[in-house]
Structure 1
Amino acid sequence: MEENGDHENEHSEHSDVDFDEFHDETFNNEDDEEPPLEPRFKYERLKGEDTMTFMKTATFTSIDLHDKFIAIGTASGLIYILDHHGYGNFDSVPILRPHRCAVSKVKFDETGSYVLSCANDSKIVVSGVGNDKLCCTVNIQVMPKSIYFAPDFIRQQSGHCFIMGERNLVLYEKRLFQYKASNLYTGSERDGFIHGCSWNDNLIAFTNDTGTRVYERGIEKIITSVQPSHDVDRVRSSRSPPKHLWMPENTLVIGWAETVTILKIKGEEGSRRGEVHHIFHVSMFISGMSYIPDGGNENVELFLIGLQLEGEDFDDTASMISTVTTLTAMESSVCTILKTSVIKPLGLKEYELQSEDVIENVRLSKHTLPYMIHGVGIPYLGTYFILTTKQIIMAVPYGPEDGIRWRLKYNLYDEAFEMAKHHAELLAKTELSQQCVGRTIIEGYLDSKRARAAASRLPLICGESKEEWEWAVDRFEEAKMCTLLAEVLPTNIPTLNATSYEKVLLACLFNNPPQFRKLVQSWSPDLYKTSIIIDQTQWRIQQISKTSESTEIEETERILMDALAHLYLYERKYENALKILMSCEDFQIFNVIDKHQLFDLVKHQITDLMKINSERALRLLLDNADSVEPSFVMEKIGRQPKLQLAYLTKLMSRNEGAEFADKAVQLYAEYDQKKLLPFLRKNANYNVKKAFTLCQRKGYIDETIFLHAKSGNHFEAVKMMVQEYKNIEKVIAYCKDQNDSDLWVHLLGVVTEFPAHFSQLIIEASNCLDPLVIMAKLPENVDIPNLSDALDKLLMDDSNYVELQQCCYESTLNDVSVLTKDLLKTANASVDVFVTSRCSLCSQIVNSLEIGKKISELKVFKCGHIFHSACSSENFKLDRRQSIEEGICIACSDKVDTTNV
């Protein structure tokens, strides 16, 4: 009984379904807040940081990225060439030392063979990366603010061009021994410095305080100009310089301060123009840009890197940045945040924020300004780098493991499992495999009191894994929530061990009896040990019966008794099962009896079966008529005449039970008069005299009239019909059916008492009786309505009848005359005898002399047959010869005989 006690404790500790629904609801209310946007990247230090000692001491000022290398400019004027993991081989690619002060800008050419750099030492240097053919240093009179290589810099005969921006945009083109400078744009002092420039194809974009312009080489003129969408006086370009990003199809993205502008260059070379497609503000000062090319150019997503000052109004932040003159002059209590955003442009001034990350554990001082942060990327490689003054951070796209961890962190269980399922092969041997994630999800739901949600996801999570289902059953048992598994536990694919099903059944037994009964009825008994469940059910019923009586307790006990009956059936303990079903008056007892052929066990309890459902019990009796005599059944239900009537009705519908015909008449007369007359008409086994006496005593008119007619007493039947019905049509129809002239005469005598019907009767009887007989029956000294019209009709019908007889007689005489004439004509017709005619007996030609016969000795009949007199006398017996002599053709008579035979 230890197991029983455990289940009793389970029942007392929680109220199963109601408890679960409460916790699901409360949890959902607490979880109404939407989770943050899912990150698209994770941020890692370069692996080479630990081995490259300069990274721990150097101050970084600029960065550029190529497919193969990273170029890092430092405050000491050095440039380090590293791979994408932060490792550098300074023996093969030595450290570049082009400047004596901080490197302000550094750029790779398209092949990665050269690095272009500038600094405040008024020098522009082209340095080689394993190649020194085009290396050079250009001394200028100003401090350059921006530089960029020509796309075809390394190509022969291209001029090996690059550009530099200060107040003017200057193109440098290599001649024999030196670079030649030519101004592409001349700016005034009020236009400010060109802090950003870029070169794509034959388009050169540059930005100063008056906006961004696009210069087209070939036609050598500016083709478009875009004004700034922010206040350049409030946010100085020196503190938040513009950033350029060229995307496919000549699309230029300008990130400047807190604004993003997307400019599309359209048209053919020589007639190009620029169109602004998007222009919007973001919640940070942009320090770097790249893009994520998934979805094509129309659905491109921008990857923005920038700074945000937390704790201040955005306008105040902008003003603060604009007024800073030195790093130490910016004294504020605000916190500087380095963040990234992925945005998707929508309308002209609208965008959708796809993700937003704050990069933590980055050493940023409160004096950090946007120009101190740099961001570059190679979109098609999914590689992005962020540079601060002291660190290089690599933005790595989120992988399946990262996505699953993030979803689990924010309880996005369905999304986490879908990702684990999608990458099942990749994660199969990790701690985030589909199996591990599924178990984590179930644990999470159970720990957060959302057991019903956990149960609903088990079919998806466990699938066809026997091991996972059994683990889930054990886990739900620990949480005392096994009842929730009743609707989801598989019974076929896979099939679990018997213990798992028993745990769910016992949990339902003590917590949800209706569900327990449903499982017992629907689950195959092969899934669990029925003996264990029977013992526990009996014990539970005993416990319930000891409690105080109430309607709810009685209903629970009845449900469990029903389930116990089904368990007994599985154990083939039919008597116990029938006993329970009978005591509960359960309609299912009939199905059980039919299915298992158990009629012999209940045939002595017919009365009880009738109480449960008389219709079903009667059908059961009739289906098992060979097992029980009708007399036995009638005896058992002798005190229930209505049940007897129903039983006899079913019995006689099968043409059985003829010996109970009189009893049936009595029961119909007492309890169902409507069916009495149809029974009297259909059945022929009852005693007519007894039935007549019963119907007459009960005053049943239709039945009495029918019995009069059935016994042959038509006169009484007609008389009673006239007296009771007051309707002459029924009586006339009855007389027509009998076709008895005496009955019509009797009817005339009876109807004399009802003059109103006499005229109609005269008309109807005119074809059945002699008019003289009808006239003789006319009552005297009685006013008969419409008598004159009736008599006219009577005489007219009689006259027509006599005339019809005369016509028929004359027609018959005429036919006889015609036929007689035809007969005589045929009889008098001559018979032709030809030379080739043959005797019908010997088949010889009648004119032949070979046999010595004379031509005159022939017998010829009207039918055309010819006989030799000798043949007819020699070949036939006396009766045949006599027939011929009497004029009867033997050939015709033989044919008639043969046909008859």
Structure 2
Amino acid sequence: MQSADEPVSDESIAGKESQVTEEDEDEEEEILLEPRFTYSRILNSIPAVFTKDAASSLVVHDKFIAIGTQTGYIYILDHLGNLHSESTARRHRAAVTAISVDTAGSYVASCALDARISVYGIGSDEFTQTIDLKVAARSVAISPDFSKRGSGQMFVTGERDLLLHERRFFSNHKYTSLYQGLERDGLISQISWRGPCIAFTNDTGTRIYHRNEERMIALVQPIHDANAMSGCRVIPSHCWLNDETLAIGWANSVCVCVILPAYNDQASVSSGSSRSPTRRKTQSSAMRKVEVNFAWRIDMLVADISFTLKKSGSDLWKEIVVFGMKRLPGEKGGEVVEAELALLEPDGIESYILNTEDRIEMRNCTLRNLRYFHMSALPLESLYFLLGPNEFFQAQPCSADERVRWYMENDMLKEAVEYATVHESQLKELNALQIGKTYIDSLISKGHYHEAASNLKTVCGRHKDQWEYYVNEFERHNVVLQVAKYLPVKDPQLEPESYQSVLIAALYNHPLLF
């Protein structure tokens, strides 16, 4: 089996973290991170659901939201939290551990501790089925094209082994073992399916099975600190950033790996998973391998991960979105745990830039409940849904008004002016001109006349009355010459008195110029 690059060692990462802490501690404390999201509770039918039940799993599709609960119910809701009672039912007799939706949003697969797999349609029941396994599956992933006729209506389940289930003629059910784990490998706690690739994680790492090649193409070994998992059960999280890039969040680590294009290998090879069925490849067969592009250790425990895009409508990811819990020092030497959402931008293989770190007040926020906290997102719409056992939040990008207001509240007037000027058309409550005037007035009051004058063009633009107002202001402070080289002579053209005041000041203060 072709494995991914060797993971970075714990010692090297710990050393880097220690060095940063010792040398840059004071600087890091002074960094003010701008919030990128605004958070709102999703209500409507949600409070009624959580009055009688508690959430255990989540998946969000373009069409709907599916929430699994600890009593076995699957609730189908719209993005505003309104219940679709016709699609909601108790599918299991125990806590739902995982939910998966096909690309079309037509079928949902779920698994629970009752050893039952439930596959059911949203608006159609042609391929609905229920399967009782001998051993309870901890994870499930439905084929992206499950609803297509002739696709075989496949899904995979994971306990110690990875099983591919397929619907045959006359509704017969067939399963194939793709991977057989040893006892030391532990249980498969996460599965994700994208195109021909099925990724799954157990205690020994994340493997990627390629259906076209019928073999494992990678084993990405874990890099997290085992001590970080003490006192809680940490479930790994998968997020496909595109068809070739998989992000893995696990405990206090994030890895991003890329499936490289196929190349020709003249030697015969075989897959290398534990007791996995092998398929010999002939000479000159196309081979794929996986490289780890980023491997980060972070100071929080991951519940789920997603991503942001570089620009609207782009398929290029910019940041990894991490939702989870963070230990913070409490009173009398103790510690408290808070829910947190962070944005991590790549800076190097082992380093990242922390762009945002938002703390969210959520109930039942304890390490024991980490497995019940989930995030599922619609990155193309910049919507991120955060689930706790008894509450549901939506995170969406801050509006232009909110971002400008934050800059102003934190005395970052220059940044407020720059942002308001670029995004003036998006401002609904604030006025870019008034923000600029506040900045100029602040500079004048502090005696920073040169800086104030240099920003007049940005703030005043074509507003003739504002130019004339500030000429008078600078004259009142006996520094009108500061605006001389910035005064417009046309578009707008000012009243003669404005130019005269500058010329007179120059005549008295610099007669050699005339």
In the superposition, the TM-score normalised over structure 2's length comes to 0.79
More strand by share: 2
- The equivalent of 1:439 in structure 2 is 437
Determine if contact 2:142/2:154 at 8 Å carries over to the other structure: yes
Give me the whole-angstrom Cα distance separating, in 1, the residues matched to 2:160 and 2:135: 9
Give me the whole-angstrom Cα distance separating, in 1, the residues matched to 2:221 and 2:46: 44
- The equivalent of 2:271 in structure 1 is none
Secondary structure of the 1:487 match is helix
Secondary structure of the 2:482 match is coil
State the AA in 2 paired with 1:293.
L
Secondary structure of the 1:415 match is helix
- The equivalent of 1:252 in structure 2 is 246
- The equivalent of 2:135 in structure 1 is 142
- 1:103 and 2:96 equivalent? yes
State the AA in 2 paired with 1:280.
W
Q: Select 1:291's aligned residue among 307, 320, 324.
A: 307
Relative distance call for 1:441 and 1:276 in structure 2 (3 A) is: same
Relative distance call for 1:142 and 1:491 in structure 2 (3 A) is: closer
Deviation for aligned residue 1:50: 4.2
Alignment of 1:725-736 (within 5 A): none
Q: Select 1:240's aligned residue among 234, 237, 241.
A: 234
- The equivalent of 1:466 in structure 2 is 464
- The equivalent of 1:228 in structure 2 is 222
- 1:173 and 2:166 equivalent? yes
- The equivalent of 2:276 in structure 1 is none
Determine if contact 2:338/2:365 at 8 Å carries over to the other structure: no
Deviation for aligned residue 1:147: 0.7
Determine if contact 2:72/2:90 at 8 Å carries over to the other structure: yes
- 1:127 and 2:136 equivalent? no
Determine if contact 2:46/2:392 at 8 Å carries over to the other structure: no
State the AA in 1 paired with 2:69.
T
Give me the whole-angstrom Cα distance separating, in 2, the residues matched to 1:298 and 1:238: 34
Alignment of 1:756-835 (within 5 A): none
Determine if contact 2:471/2:483 at 8 Å carries over to the other structure: no
- 1:68 and 2:52 equivalent? no
Determine if contact 2:231/2:367 at 8 Å carries over to the other structure: no
Give me the whole-angstrom Cα distance separating, in 2, the residues matched to 1:238 and 1:144: 20
- The equivalent of 1:881 in structure 2 is none
Determine if contact 1:63/1:71 at 8 Å carries over to the other structure: yes
Secondary structure of the 2:82 match is coil
Q: Select 1:86's aligned residue among 81, 84, 90.
A: 81
- The equivalent of 1:617 in structure 2 is none
Relative distance call for 1:426 and 1:207 in structure 2 (3 A) is: closer
- The equivalent of 1:305 in structure 2 is 323
Give me the whole-angstrom Cα distance separating, in 1, the residues matched to 2:83 and 2:449: 55
State the AA in 1 paired with 2:41.
R
1:125-179 Cα distance to aligned partner (Å, 9 max, x none): 1122111111121111222211100122112222111111111111111133343
Give me the whole-angstrom Cα distance separating, in 2, the residues matched to 1:286 and 1:79: 24
Alignment of 1:483-522 (within 5 A): 483-488=478-483, 490=487, 492=489, 493-495=492-494, 519-520=503-504, 522=506
Deviation for aligned residue 1:233: 7.0
Give me the whole-angstrom Cα distance separating, in 1, the residues matched to 2:445 and 2:512: 44
Deviation for aligned residue 1:415: 2.6
Secondary structure of the 1:206 match is strand
Deviation for aligned residue 1:298: 7.2
- 1:275 and 2:270 equivalent? no
- The equivalent of 1:378 in structure 2 is 378
Deviation for aligned residue 1:435: 1.6
Alignment of 1:581-660 (within 5 A): none
1:537-594 Cα distance to aligned partner (Å, 9 max, x none): xxxxxxxxxxxxxxxxxxxxxx6xx99xxxxxxxxxxxxxxxxxxxxxx999xx9xxx
Give me the whole-angstrom Cα distance separating, in 1, the residues matched to 2:188 and 2:162: 7
State the AA in 2 paired with 1:462.
C
Determine if contact 1:245/1:289 at 8 Å carries over to the other structure: yes
State the AA in 2 paired with 1:43.
Y
Give me the whole-angstrom Cα distance separating, in 2, the residues matched to 1:161 and 1:74: 24
State the AA in 2 paired with 1:158.
S
Relative distance call for 1:219 and 1:464 in structure 2 (3 A) is: closer
Secondary structure of the 2:171 match is coil
Determine if contact 2:73/2:88 at 8 Å carries over to the other structure: yes
In the superposition, the TM-score normalised over structure 1's length comes to 0.47
- 1:43 and 2:42 equivalent? no
Secondary structure of the 1:405 match is helix
Deviation for aligned residue 1:273: 1.8
Deviation for aligned residue 1:63: 0.8
State the AA in 2 paired with 1:87.
N
- The equivalent of 1:192 in structure 2 is 186
Determine if contact 1:339/1:356 at 8 Å carries over to the other structure: no
Secondary structure of the 1:419 match is helix
List alignment gaps of at least 5 residues for structure 1.
1-30, 313-331, 506-517, 524-558, 564-585, 592-901
- The equivalent of 2:342 in structure 1 is 341
Deviation for aligned residue 1:241: 1.0
Deviation for aligned residue 1:120: 1.3
Deviation for aligned residue 1:33: 8.7
Determine if contact 2:44/2:82 at 8 Å carries over to the other structure: no
Secondary structure of the 1:292 match is strand
Give me the whole-angstrom Cα distance separating, in 2, the residues matched to 1:387 and 1:279: 26
Deviation for aligned residue 1:210: 0.9
State the AA in 1 paired with 2:307.
Y
Identity rate of aligned residues, in percent? 33
1:349-368 Cα distance to aligned partner (Å, 9 max, x none): 22233x12223333343455
1:585-618 Cα distance to aligned partner (Å, 9 max, x none): x999xx9xxxxxxxxxxxxxxxxxxxxxxxxxxx
Relative distance call for 1:198 and 1:218 in structure 2 (3 A) is: same
Secondary structure of the 1:488 match is helix
- 1:151 and 2:144 equivalent? yes
Give me the whole-angstrom Cα distance separating, in 2, the residues matched to 1:219 and 1:466: 70
Give me the whole-angstrom Cα distance separating, in 2, the residues matched to 1:422 and 1:300: 21
Give me the whole-angstrom Cα distance separating, in 2, the residues matched to 1:138 and 1:75: 20
Relative distance call for 1:266 and 1:459 in structure 2 (3 A) is: closer
Determine if contact 1:204/1:216 at 8 Å carries over to the other structure: yes
Give me the whole-angstrom Cα distance separating, in 2, the residues matched to 1:408 and 1:587: 43
Deviation for aligned residue 1:455: 4.3
Determine if contact 1:280/1:348 at 8 Å carries over to the other structure: yes
- The equivalent of 1:735 in structure 2 is none
- The equivalent of 1:210 in structure 2 is 204
Relative distance call for 1:233 and 1:178 in structure 2 (3 A) is: farther
Relative distance call for 1:153 and 1:482 in structure 2 (3 A) is: same
Determine if contact 2:69/2:95 at 8 Å carries over to the other structure: yes
Determine if contact 1:451/1:481 at 8 Å carries over to the other structure: no
Relative distance call for 1:484 and 1:145 in structure 2 (3 A) is: farther
Relative distance call for 1:128 and 1:587 in structure 2 (3 A) is: closer
Deviation for aligned residue 1:374: 0.8
Deviation for aligned residue 1:220: 2.5
State the AA in 1 paired with 2:194.
N
Determine if contact 1:161/1:172 at 8 Å carries over to the other structure: yes
Relative distance call for 1:446 and 1:389 in structure 2 (3 A) is: farther
Secondary structure of the 1:356 match is strand
Alignment of 1:9-24 (within 5 A): none
State the AA in 2 paired with 1:110.
T
State the AA in 1 paired with 2:122.
V
CA RMSD of aligned residues (A): 3.3
Determine if contact 2:232/2:370 at 8 Å carries over to the other structure: no
Alignment of 1:697-736 (within 5 A): none
Relative distance call for 1:587 and 1:235 in structure 2 (3 A) is: closer
